[in-house]
Amino acid sequence: MKKAFITGISGQDGSYLSEFLLQKGYEVHGMIRRSSLETRTRIDHLYQDPHVSGRRFFLYYGDMTDSSCIFQLLNKIQPNEIYNLAAQSHVRISFENPEYTANVDAMGTIRLLEAIRTLRLDKTTKFYQASTSELFGRAKKMPQNEKTPFCPRSPYAAAKIYSYWITVNYREAYNIFATNGILFNHESPRRGDSFVTKKIVQNVADIYYNKANTLYLGNLDVSRDWGYAPDYVESMWKILQYEKPEDFVIATGETNTVRDFVEKAFKYVNIEIEWQGKGIDEIGIDKKTGKIIVKIDPWYFRPTEVDILVGDASKAKKLIGWEPKVKYEELIKIMMEDALKTRRL
Ligand code: NAP
Ligand code: G4F
């Protein structure tokens, strides 16, 4: 039975990846952080009591900032595959907490790679690094592929670029099967509440149920290549099954603005938006009732923004046979259906 070790197992991707690997027959080991409330809702359904025999899902307390615990865990588990998904993953918040973001998102990766190297797991353990389309930042080329130069635009992206290159370096220097998945934005009902897609669908549902009046947003004109998280975790596994360690862009190839996402989410509940005004004074009005339902809050602007991202995943299609199944409009439907169900209560 293959053993996988997942950092960030309690996050959006960690939870879907755990389900995927358990279904493939893996033993799944994951690192969680201690917190005063035991709120691990994304993986509660996978939890198995330690006293049950034959279990295949194991959780351990640890932190990406604590190298001794990372060494001890890898020594104990001796995994065949490591998926490094743990991160302070919010770009806006990385401007508030740049040093912490670097400690987790950059230094955390070298802690794992050094553990692989010094524990001599290099022959037996494959390593996946959760790299990101944020590396492309202010990209000069559309769409972005594995050869597009990086131009990071946030402390988050700067930390992730270190992790990208140290992964490449450990592959070249020590022959470790170390790979990067350069994933474009991927969303789902399990997305964190403060990311823009989840925030939009939850607020649209609340406005529809008369539980809220206004959705406050930042920049409406940025574009993202939004895919569906369960499709994307499959690519992580496929990257590690490929005959040699390489880096892959994973994306849908379609880009849409935040404004378009807002319009389509409201349309799902038969609300048509009319935009009026410009810049921070722009408002979105419910055409039928005349009520203001969208406003701009400059707090959500970023000191430096990534205006547009769109990925070219043709290498992944050709070499590992990966293609997205869920496209943009269906993604909105999945997320709206979930928000309408969960926010009704
Ligand atoms: P997420 O939902 O924010 O999950 C992040 C995970 O990292 C959570 O389990 C979190 O634990 C854990 N974590 C944070 N700080 C930690 C620390 N100091 N020590 C140990 N664990 C820590 O992120 P996601 O959307 O699943 O993304 C997974 C990975 O892919 C991240 O590295 C992200 O940067 C990257 N990525 C995401 C996307 C995307 O669109 N989703 C695209 C490209 C790359 P808690 O539950 O305790 O907070
Ligand atoms: O949903 P977002 O916060 O995601 P962002 O910044 O693209 O980052 C996500 O995707 C990356 C992959 O490219 C991951 F690496 C990263 O970990 C994370 O998962 O924001 C998307 C866009 C931004 O341009 C932002 O300025 O939406 C814009 N936006 C407009 N109003 C907003 C808001 N973003 C948020 N979070 N909240 C708003 O109110």
Consecutive H or E run containing 283: strand 283-286
Per-residue model confidence (pLDDT) at position 76: 98
The pLDDT tens digits for 293-308 are: 999 999 999 999 999 9
d(CA 91, CA 129): 18
Confidence label for 186 from pLDDT (cuts 50, 70 and 90): very high
Nearest-angstrom CA–CA distance, 345 and 336: 15
Ligand 2, closest atom to CA 217?
39
Residue with the smallest CA separation from ligand 2 atom 12 is: 185
Separation in Å, CA 46 to CA 29, 54, 87, 152, 271: 12, 14, 21, 36, 38
pTM score over 0.85: yes
In this model, does residue 52 exceed pLDDT 90?
no
Cβ-contact 262, 246 below 8 angstroms: no
Nearest C-alpha neighbor of 131 from the set 251, 43, 264, 216? 251
What pLDDT, on a 0 to 100 scale, did the predictor assign at position 4? 98
Which residue's CA is the closest to the ligand 1 atom numbered 10?
A: 8
Residue 105 is classified by DSSP as I
130 lines ligand 1 (CB under 6 A): yes
Determine whether the shortest distance from the Cβ of 224 to ligand 1 is under 6 A.
no
- Residue 206's contacts (CB-CB under 8 Å, 6 or more residues apart) are 212, 343
pLDDT at residue 206 above 80? yes
115: exposed, middle or buried (C-beta count within 10 Å: 0-12, 13-18, 19+)?
buried
CB of residue 298 inside a 6 A radius of ligand 1: no
Q: What is the pLDDT at residue 151? A: 98
pLDDT exceeds 90 at position 316: yes
> Which carries the bigger pLDDT value, residue 325 or residue 50?
325
Distance CA 128, CA 149 (A): 21
Tokens of 201: 């669908």
244-303 per-position pLDDT tens digit: 999 999 999 999 999 999 999 999 999 999 999 999 999 999 999 999 999 999 999 999
Choose which residue among 5, 7, 9, 13 to substitute to test ligand 1 binding: the one with the highest number of ligand atoms within 8 A of its C-beta. 13
Q: Are strands 248-250 and 177-183 parallel, antiparallel or unpaired?
A: parallel
Residues in the chain: 345
